[in-house]
């Protein structure tokens, strides 16, 4: 056992300015009613997401529920989804009675394999969901654009799950804003957080009045707030998807230093690459993301060969005071996935992947010395 300080997997970055934001709300009923803090967040977020419409939500999951409620699904409609993703991404569509069609992960980015996505398209395909794993684009800009063009030509809705991608860009475009709908998560597990929270990005090509109704319990509350109607009424499916003012106060404070936080994450990610990539190659392992990949530094992982090595390495790092974790399970092989899903493609790699990822700590509580320490413990696991 090590006597050096423990390195936690994740931290909540201390920030005093959120307390003053919360203090301003105290006793101010009108501030809650008029969503003054949420509006402040949306204003700040315009810098990150200048195009289309952005809705502040309770979570990325709520953003996906908004997309699911906004799309007109008919019986028999299908949605193509990655098997390797977080479970909350699929529930919104299953609830609406949509047939899920799983595709495998690609070996490079761990996002969905876009060749299989194309193979899975049928006359019943109503939507395609892509997912960018750990802040890394699932494919090249050209490939994503080609998919988006194909989807538009076939009248298929493209949903971009960019839950872990706050701050990730490809060819100047923020991840999350390339599809018809995109989501970002501000969960406590993300580097910019509102504890629970998210963003639903809606392309400007969509009927915003419909999405706005979905966001407000399926009502035209927005017209009421504008003063254009005396009462608001129930028009469509929807729910109370909006983020609350306390979460928004935390987010507002977090956004003040977002660029700095992202810079720190990218610095740590680069340090991991500098200290681990060559070694990984020498012993036929991998780091994720690799040097040439675009990323926001949200996640850094060491890729092992199998479940036995994964378990032993996580244990070894834990014994040395370093908390590490595996990640998503393959959803096509879950009890629910098996009972409701169809699948297209070869899932050998996708079924191995959950047992090959060891996520390493990456957060603002760490400095270069910590990364060097983690890298040296990983090396000692293989060399001793
Ligand atoms: C790919 C993906 N989609 C969706 C989510 C759900 O995000 P939230 O917890 O904000 O609902 C997550 C959570 O990490 C995720 O990793």
Q: How many residues does the chain have?
A: 384
More confident residue, 274 or 205: 274
Query: How far apart are the CA of 201 and the centre of ligand 1, in A?
Result: 15
The finding on whether 198 has its CB within 6 A of some atom of ligand 1 is yes
Over 90: is that where the pLDDT of 15 sits?
A: no
pLDDT at residue 28, rounded to an integer: 81
pLDDT tens digit sequence for 117-127: 999 999 999 99
- In the predicted model, is pLDDT for residue 1 greater than 60? no
Q: Provide the percentage of residues in the chain whose pLDDT is more than 70.
A: 99
CB atoms within 10 A of CB 318: 12
325 Cα distance to chain centroid:
17
Only one residue has tokens 């392309």, namely 203
Alpha helices in the chain (DSSP H): 17-25, 29-33, 36-45, 60-70, 91-95, 114-120, 141-153, 208-215, 221-226, 245-256, 258-282, 307-319, 335-340, 348-352, 368-383
Q: Is 302 left (phi over 0), alpha (psi -120 to 50) or beta?
A: beta
Distance CA 382, CA 384 (A): 6
Kindly tell me the number of DSSP H helices and DSSP E strands found in the chain: 15, 13
- Among 64, 136, 187, name the best residue to mutate to test ligand 1's pocket (greatest count of ligand atoms within 8 A of Cβ): 187
Q: Which two tokens stand for residue 278?
A: 């060559």
Structural contact between residues 264 and 229, judged by C-beta atoms closer than 8 angstroms: no
pLDDT at 3 over 70: no
Query: Which three-class secondary structure string do you get for 214-232?
Result: HHECCECHHHHHHCCCCCC
The answer, yes or no, to whether any atom of ligand 1 lies below 6 A from the CB of 179, is no
In this prediction, residue 209 carries a pLDDT of: 85
Query: Is 164 touching ligand 1 by the criterion CB < 6 Å?
Result: yes
Averaged confidence pLDDT in the chain: 95
**295 in contact with ligand 1, CB cutoff 6 A:** no
185 C-beta closer than 6 A to ligand 1: yes
Residue 110 and residue 215: Cα distance in Å, rounded? 31
- For residue 70, what pLDDT band results from cuts at 50, 70 and 90? very high
At 204 the pLDDT is 86
Measure 64 CA to ligand 1 centroid, in angstroms.
10
On whether the pTM is more than 0.75, the answer is: yes
- pLDDT digit string, tens, across residues 192-210: 999 999 999 999 888 778 9
Q: What does the pLDDT read at residue 226?
A: 87
Q: Which domains occur in the chain, in start order?
A: 17-256 (3.40.640.10), 258-383 (3.90.1150.10)
**90: CA distance to ligand 1 center in Å?**
11
pLDDT band at 61 (very low <50, low <70, confident <90, very high): very high
pLDDT at 21: 79
């Amino acid at each position: 056992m090590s006597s050096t300080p423990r390195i936690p997997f994740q931290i909540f970055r201390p920030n005093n300015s959120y307390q003053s934001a919360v203090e301003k709300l105290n006793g101010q009923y009108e501030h809650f009613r008029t969503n003054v803090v949420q509006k402040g967040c949306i204003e700040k977020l315009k810098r990150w997401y200048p195009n289309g419409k952005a809705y502040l939500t309770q979570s990325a999951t709520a953003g996906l529920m908004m997309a699911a409620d906004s799309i007109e699904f008919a019986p028999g409609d299908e949605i193509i989804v990655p098997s390797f993703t977080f479970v909350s991404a699929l529930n919104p569509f299953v609830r609406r009675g949509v047939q899920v069609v799983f595709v495998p992960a690609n070996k490079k980015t761990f996002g969905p394999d876009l060749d299989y996505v194309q193979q899975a398209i049928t006359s019943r395909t109503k939507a395609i969901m892509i997912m960018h794993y750990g802040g890394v684009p699932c494919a090249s800009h050209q490939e994503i654009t080609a998919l988006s063009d194909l989807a538009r030509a076939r009248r298929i809705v493209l949903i971009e799950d960019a839950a872990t991608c706050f701050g990730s860009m490809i060819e100047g475009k923020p991840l999350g804003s390339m599809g018809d709908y995109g989501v970002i998560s501000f969960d406590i597990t993300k580097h910019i957080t509102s504890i629970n929270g998210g963003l639903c990005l809606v392309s400007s090509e969509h009927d915003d009045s419909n999405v706005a109704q979905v966001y407000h319990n399926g009502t035209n509350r927005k017209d009421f707030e504008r003063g254009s109607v005396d009462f608001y009424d129930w028009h469509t499916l929807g729910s109370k998807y909006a983020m609350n003012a306390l979460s928004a106060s935390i987010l507002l404070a977090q956004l003040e230093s977002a660029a700095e936080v992202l810079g720190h994450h990218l610095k740590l990610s680069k340090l991991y690459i500098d200290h681990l990539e060559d070694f990984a190659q020498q012993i036929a392992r991998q780091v994720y993301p690799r040097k040439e990949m675009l990323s926001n530094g949200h996640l850094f992982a060491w890729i092992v060969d199998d479940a036995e090595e994964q378990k032993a390495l996580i244990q070894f790092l834990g014994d040395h005071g370093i908390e590490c974790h595996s990640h998503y399970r393959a959803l096509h092989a879950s009890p629910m996935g098996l009972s409701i899903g169809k699948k297209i493609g070869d899932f050998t790699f996708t079924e191995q992947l959950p047992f090959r990822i060891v996520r390493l700590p990456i957060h603002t509580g760490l400095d270069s010395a910590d990364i060097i320490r983690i890298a040296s413990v990983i090396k000692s696991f293989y060399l001793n």
